[in-house]
């Protein structure tokens, strides 16, 4: 069985990491998924999705600060829209993550969360959650 849904995430800053773990968990729970594979995908070239620590808010902040050092805003970029740093940060981070679902729960580590990474905000971003699972009939 395959299930897919999309939800919106409004972002407020140029660069930010928003914890979307709860929203992904709610989708898996509402669909009644007991076991399978969950993919979280963002269809944007200046946003990304990643799994990282969600216990300490300093971690996302440190990640964003490091990205500013790695991909400076004032680099030698030719892209006319002026958002090349956002494209590069999204490329480095990635557009999707995949997590196992067991016993009706996404299987993240103790300190892990799923984050939408905004690199060209503020905007309204779309997040697609797709779950491939064993159907009840074949259990």
The residues pairing with 41 across neighbouring beta strands, listed in sequence order, are 96, 128
Sheet harboring 47-53: ordered strands across?
16-19, 112-118, 47-53
* Summary mean pLDDT of the chain: 95
Give per-residue pLDDT as tens, 78-129: 998 999 999 999 999 999 999 999 999 999 999 999 999 999 999 999 999 9
* Residue 18, CB-side half-sphere exposure with 13 Å CA sphere: 24
CATH of 2-138, picked from 3.40.50.2300, 2.60.120.460, 2.20.25.90, 3.90.25.10, is 2.60.120.460
From the list 33, 21, 34, 48, the residue with the least C-alpha distance to 109 is: 21
Domain boundaries along the sequence of the chain: 2-138
Share of the chain above pLDDT 90, in %: 92
């Amino acid at each position: 069985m395959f299930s897919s849904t999309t939800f919106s995430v409004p972002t407020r800053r140029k660069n930010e990491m928003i914890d979307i773990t709860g929203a992904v968990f709610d989708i898996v729970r509402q669909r009644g998924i007991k076991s399978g594979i969950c993919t979280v995908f963002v269809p944007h070239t200046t946003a990304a999705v990643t799994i990282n620590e969600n216990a300490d808010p300093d971690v996302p902040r440190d990640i964003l600060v490091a990205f500013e050092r790695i991909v400076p805003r004032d680099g030698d970029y030719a892209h006319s829209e002026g958002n090349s740093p956002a494209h590069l940060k999204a490329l480095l981070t990635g557009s999707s993550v995949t997590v196992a679902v067991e016993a009706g729960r996404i299987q993240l580590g103790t300190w892990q969360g799923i984050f939408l990474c905004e690199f060209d905000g503020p905007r309204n971003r779309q997040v697609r959650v797709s779950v491939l699972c064993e159907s009840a009939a074949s259990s």
